Structure 1
């Protein structure tokens, strides 16, 4: 279960595993908005208030907001599922 205002781990995994080439423009835009919203929520929520699951999810998804590619993005690129970004 995700913390309030955060995207669930299941939703993040489903989004990450579907190739961009198989997503509609609407789906791609929605994923981008959800990702940005989750990133903002991650930044605003103090570490001390995050659940253990959310802390782990932030580490995997790269929501530390340090401009580095996340582990999930690295995995997508390694499998050839990543978009043209990065």
Structure 2
């Protein structure tokens, strides 16, 4: 389960499993918006309030500036 306003790891994996070349423009636009919204949510949420899975996801995706897990 993801934190409020955040994409779950399963959603991120499902989105990245299909190459952009096989996605419609609408799918690509949706992924772009979701990724940007998730990055903003990651930046404003204090590290100590993140779930363990969100900390790991942020560290892997580079969505946080504090990489301490």
When normalised by structure 1's length, the TM-score is: 0.73
More relative contact order, 1 or 2 (CA 8 Å, 6+ apart): 2
Match of 2:23 in 1: 23
The CA deviation at 1:50 is 0.3
Instruction: Tell me which stretches of 4 or more aligned residues in structure 1 moved more than 4 Å.
Output: none
Per-residue deviation, residues 31-83 of structure 1 (Å, max 9, x unmatched):
00000000000000000100111100101111025xxxxxxxxxxxxxxxxxx
Aligned mates of 1:22, 1:51 — CA distance in 2: 32
2:13 aligned with 1:10: no
Q: How does 1:1-86 map to 2 (within 5 A)?
A: 1-64=1-64
Question: How many positions carry a matched residue from both structures?
Answer: 65
- Residue segments in structure 1 that go unaligned for 5+ positions in a row: 66-86
- Give the whole-Å Cα distance in 1 for the aligned partners of 2:43 and 2:64: 7
Distance in 2 (CA, whole Å) between partners of 1:23 and 1:5 is 24
Q: Unpaired segments of 5 or more residues in structure 2? A: none
Could you state the TM-score of these two structures normalised by the residue count of structure 2?
0.90
